[in-house]
Amino acid sequence: MTEAIVIRQTGGPDVMALEDWPVSQPGPGQALIQQTAIGLNFIDTYQRSGLYPVALPFVGGNEGAGVVTAVGPDVTSVKVGDRVCYQGQIGAYAKERLIAADRLVPIPDGISDETAAAVMLKGLTAYYLLFMTWKVEAGQTILWHAAAGGTGQIATQWAKALGATVIGTAGGAEKVALARANGCDHVIDYRTEDFAARVKEITAGRGVDVVYDGVGKSTFDASLDCLRPRGLMVSFGNASGVVSVPDLGVLARKGSLYVTRPTSGSYLGDRTVLLAGSEALFGAILSGGIKVDISARFPLADTRQAHEALEGRQTTGSVVLIP
């Protein structure tokens, strides 16, 4: 048995409880890891609430880091004693867990377990969005919503390093300053400014090449007005609600626009891509191109409070849980 945050019914943060949870020795293709740090992400809240259905009961969480303590038959990708991390594998809110060994990534020297747990999901999301969904290049202009958030901070620094002009949105003076400090050339306070009008002003009426939007319903429609003709709208999250596009004709009227709704599983399912993305991410951190901000740490037992802070927009950067 291990201690874990278990969800037996969907709902608010109060449905999560610290319980003893069974954990067995690894079978074929599996590894057992003792976790040292666990990342907190919005997808965790979507699964907890039932927006993204998961069979009940389940252990929440989707990314973490730790040490391999046992491996199953035929496992060659990791060995006992390795420091490893992962993302996109539900069941992270636990002191120990079983996991498919081929989803584990070695943590390089110079990267702490906390940093690895904080950046794997957010950082690899930034990787596939910036390098694969739309290949950001020098001279392009992008708009990134929630630029002061965990994924936003990583992505805007990375996009700036690639030579793009980066426009970010954030809510409130503190978050605006944080976004500006993390690579944004221009930051729009969506609480007090019309971000679509400001984008057109900043780009002299042209619009941006691509919008990256993890906010969802509240920003989607106006984001289309930020794009240049044939630009791409990348909707990758639902923090304010699920997006619905009942009239595809709006894309034609606003300039023959493109829209995509990517997920990490479609991009990072292949281990070769997973390792390449991780190498690029850790390399950018080690070179100083990306600085990781862990703004808060919560004991595993206080996961409920961590969810409340995340959903209440009380956090910036990354948040980790400590088992």
Mean pLDDT on 199-204? 98
pLDDT of residue 133 exceeding 80, the answer is yes
Q: Which residues is 32 bridged to in the sheet? A: 70, 98
pLDDT of residue 114 exceeding 90, the answer is yes
pLDDT of residue 315 exceeding 90, the answer is no
pLDDT the model gives residue 150: 87
pLDDT the model gives residue 44: 96
Mean pLDDT on 16-23? 98
Radius of gyration of the chain (CA): 20
- Report the distance separating Cα 304 and Cα 310, nearest Å: 10
- Report the distance separating Cα 315 and Cα 253, nearest Å: 37
Of all residues in the chain, what percent carry a pLDDT higher than 70? 100
pLDDT the model gives residue 157: 96
Query: Which H or E run contains 195?
Result: helix 195-202
pLDDT the model gives residue 132: 97
Mean pLDDT on 111-130? 97
Q: How many CA atoms lie within 13 A of 172 on its CB side?
A: 8
- Report the distance separating Cα 275 and Cα 281, nearest Å: 10
pLDDT the model gives residue 22: 97
| Selection from 6, 62, 73 nearest residue 35 by Cα | 62
- Report the distance separating Cα 148 and Cα 157, nearest Å: 11
pLDDT of residue 246 exceeding 80, the answer is no
Torsion of CA 124, 126, 132, 137, to 10 degrees: -140
Mean pLDDT on 80-109? 97
Mean pLDDT on 22-33? 97
Q: How far is CA 16 from CA 208, 211, 238, 314, 318, in A?
A: 41, 34, 21, 20, 21
pLDDT the model gives residue 303: 98
